[in-house]
Each structure stands twice: as C-alpha cells, then as structure tokens.
C-alpha cells in the first residue's frame, strides 16, 4: 500500500525491478535516519518480488540507488537486480557497488 514495484524499462540484469515509495521522496541524498524503516521495507519488497519470480539466491542480488546527478528522475527508487553475476559489462559499470554514481 505504501510501495510499488515494477520492471525497469531498460533492464540491466535478467530480473531488474524498481521499488518506489508511493509518497514522494526526493532522492537518496534527501534520506535521513527516520527513513531507515522505509528503505528496509523497500529492500524486503525487492527480495519478495524476486522470490515470487522464482529467484531464490539472495546472495546474488544487487540493490541500490543512483547518486545524484546520475538519477534520471527525482523520486526515490531502489534498483533490484538479479542475478548480479549475470550483469553485462555496461551494467557492471552502471550498477557498480558503492561507486561515485551508485550506492548500495
């Protein structure tokens, strides 16, 4: 009821979803300590959607946010990609763990 999840229109992995809060939230730079429960719930929803789509290896998942100015929209959205081991060359760069443009 407070989050929506849908497939990314330009998937970077065989399974690539976006988990988005219904209530407007800026981007990951606007997050504060009070938002920790929302982010945790976003991650739980991402894992649940993967499991509903017959993906069970939760150790082979990449989740994170694009760091401004590298996000295309100014509404918080969590990228959920799986299997992370099957990310292509460009996707490995775009969704690189804790890089200048993508934080996990």
DSSP 3-state of 104: coil
Burial label for 78, CB within 10 Å (0-12, 13-18, 19+), is buried
Cis before residue 66, ω within 30 degrees of 0?
Answer: no
Confidence band for 101, pLDDT divided at 50, 70 and 90: very high
CB atoms within 10 A of CB 19: 24
On whether the CB atoms of residues 29 and 37 are closer than 8 A, the answer is no
Catalytic: 77?
yes
Q: DSSP letter string over 3-63? A: EEEEE-SS-SSSEEEEEEESS----GGG--GGGHHHHHHHHHHHHHHHHHTT---TTS-EE
Could you report the per-residue pLDDT of 41-96, keeping only the tens digit for each?
Answer: 999 999 999 999 999 999 999 999 998 878 878 899 999 999 999 999 999 999 99
Give the mean pLDDT of 36-41: 96
Which tokens go with 74? Answer: 């100014």
Q: What is the pTM of this model?
A: 0.94
- Report pLDDT for 45: 98
> What's the gap between Cα 85 and its chain centre?
16
- Report pLDDT for 70: 80
- Considering the candidates 16, 66, 75, 77, report the single residue annotated as catalytic: 77
Residue ranges of domains in the chain, CATH in brackets: 3-103 (3.30.428.10)
Give the mean pLDDT of 31-40: 94
Could you report the per-residue pLDDT of 2-27, keeping only the tens digit for each?
Answer: 999 999 999 999 999 999 999 999 88
């Amino acid at each position: 009821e407070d989050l929506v999840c849908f497939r990314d229109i330009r998937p970077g992995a065989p399974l690539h979803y976006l988990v988005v809060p219904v209530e407007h939230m800026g981007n990951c730079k606007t997050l504060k300590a009070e938002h920790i429960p929302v982010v945790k719930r976003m991650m739980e929803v991402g894992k649940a959607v993967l499991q509903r789509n017959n993906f069970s290896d939760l150790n082979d998942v990449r989740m994170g946010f694009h760091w401004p100015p590298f996000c295309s929209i100014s509404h918080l959205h969590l990228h959920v990609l799986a299997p992370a081991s099957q990310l292509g060359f460009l996707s490995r760069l775009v969704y690189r763990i804790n890089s200048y443009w993508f934080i996990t």
